[in-house]
Amino acid sequence: MTITQLKYVLAVAEHQNFTKAAEKTFVTQPTLSMQIQKLEDELDILIFDRSKKPIELTEVGKKIVEQARNIVNESERMQDVVDQEKGFIGGTFKLGIIPTIMPTLLPMFLKNFSNRYPKVQLKIEELNTDEIITKISDGYLDAAIAATPLKHDKIKERVLYYEPFVGYIPENHRLTSKEKLEVGDLDIDDILLLEDGHCFRDGIINLCKASKHGGIDKFQLESGSFETLVKLSNEGLGMTLLPYLHTLDINPSLTKNLRYFKNPSPAREVSLIYSKSELKLQTINALYDIIAGVIRGAIAFQDVKVISPTKK
């Protein structure tokens, strides 16, 4: 069994076609066929069911592919280990970002970063916090940007910034006349929330739990984007809370509806997180510096109170 054979298997599994897989792996189709046959002989099983069109994995084959992916992934991390030592900043770098941070933060640093470090090929994925934790732990992601603290054994956190919560109060709301919000003003039943799975939603629930100890009975409406929440709010369905950076993008005609909190303002802590194995640390440091640099100009709040992003 060689790593090359495993890569061939992965390619065929992906393209369900020997000929295409051969092109992708830069060898001829007979080479691929032979190597895969050799592996099948060695393990004494069939990986592919060649009678099906297009070709299919056998039951064992599926498990073989899974394990092959583990091995190939680990083997590709060997180069990272070396780069690490040499201080080389380059190669592919997989970054996860949670949905409520992605649209506002990404445009702020992306160009900046890729100009400064052209040898790094950034691959960015929008993932929720749970997915991020899994994928950092198993080495799929090199780093991620998420709300913290997560207090996870295997994950390091470096705080990028504190992003205050800002109230969006529609006209004719009971809080419209207030100039500054207080946590005590909030009523969870009156706040439009993102749909389940977003940690920003959990943060708000935690915030309200902390302010009054009553249970949470119902969420009137739920949506996946702040834009929708603001529109629903304008329809008189309740107020909502936005992360500060989102308020910068809001339609200027609506900024009059924004209400900040009195100090200390509730805020979420946003961090760059990565595995304690610290592979690609140089790239992580570079990314941290770039993001911290651009954010310094955008967020000036000092006196904040961090709200936990996780349930319970």
Q: Which stretch binds its own copies (CB under 8 A): 22-30, 77-85, 100-108, 296-304?
A: 77-85
Burial class (CB in 10 A: 0-12, 13-18, 19+), 17: middle
Query: Is the Cβ of residue 47 or residue 299 nearer to its own copies in the bound state?
Result: 47
Please tell me the distance from the alpha carbon of residue 191 to that of residue 211, in angstroms, as a whole number.
14
Using CB under 8 A, pick the residue from 41, 85, 179, 217 that binds its own copies. Answer: 85
From the list its own copies, DNA, none, partner contacted by residue 43 (C-beta under 5 to 8 A by kind): its own copies
**Contacts (CB under 8 A) with its own copies, residues 201-220:** none
**Contacts (CB under 7 A) with DNA, residues 49-78:** 50-51, 53-55
Distance between first and last Cα of the chain: 48
Q: How far is the CB of 80 from DNA (least distance, A)?
A: 22
Q: What's the Cα-to-Cα distance from 254 to each of 29, 181, 192, 193, 251, rounded to whole Å?
A: 61, 17, 17, 19, 6
- Is there a contact between 138 and 70 (Cβ–Cβ < 8 Å)? no
Compute the Cα dihedral for 200, 205, 206, 208 and give only its sign: positive
Please tell me the distance from the alpha carbon of residue 263 to that of residue 246, in angstroms, as a whole number.
20
Q: How far is the CB of 8 from its own copies (least distance, A)?
A: 14
Burial class (CB in 10 A: 0-12, 13-18, 19+), 154: exposed
Q: Which stretch binds its own copies (CB under 8 A): 71-79, 123-131, 187-195, 245-253?
A: 71-79
From the list DNA, its own copies, none, partner contacted by residue 161 (C-beta under 5 to 8 A by kind): none
Binding string, 23-62, against its own copies, x = CB under 8 A? --------------------xxx-------------xx--
DSSP state of 168: E
- Is there a contact between 90 and 117 (Cβ–Cβ < 8 Å)? yes
State the CB neighbour count (10 A cutoff) for residue 221.
Answer: 16
4 binding DNA? (CB under 7 A): yes
Using CB under 8 A, pick the residue from 13, 64, 97, 145 that binds its own copies. Answer: 64
38 binding DNA? (CB under 7 A): yes
Query: Is the Cβ of residue 6 or residue 205 nearer to its own copies in the bound state?
Result: 6
Element (H, E) at 74: helix 59-86
**Taking the CA atoms of the chain, what radius of gyration do you get in angstroms?**
24
- Pairing status of strand 304-306 against strand 239-243: unpaired
Please tell me the distance from the alpha carbon of residue 242 to that of residue 181, in angstroms, as a whole number.
13
176 binding DNA? (CB under 7 A): no
Q: Which stretch binds its own copies (CB under 8 A): 49-57, 81-89, 111-119, 232-240?
A: 81-89
Query: Is the Cβ of residue 51 or residue 302 nearer to DNA in the bound state?
Result: 51
Q: How far is the CB of 82 from DNA (least distance, A)?
A: 18
What count of Cα atoms within 13 Å lies in the side-chain half-sphere of residue 220?
14
Query: Is the Cβ of residue 74 or residue 235 nearer to its own copies in the bound state?
Result: 74
156 binding its own copies? (CB under 8 A): no
From the list DNA, its own copies, none, partner contacted by residue 64 (C-beta under 5 to 8 A by kind): its own copies
Q: Which residues bind its own copies (CB under 8 A)?
A: 1-3, 43-45, 59-60, 63-64, 66-68, 70-71, 74-75, 77-79, 81-82, 84-86
Q: Which residues bind DNA (CB under 7 A)?
A: 2, 4, 17-19, 26-31, 33-38, 50-51, 53-55
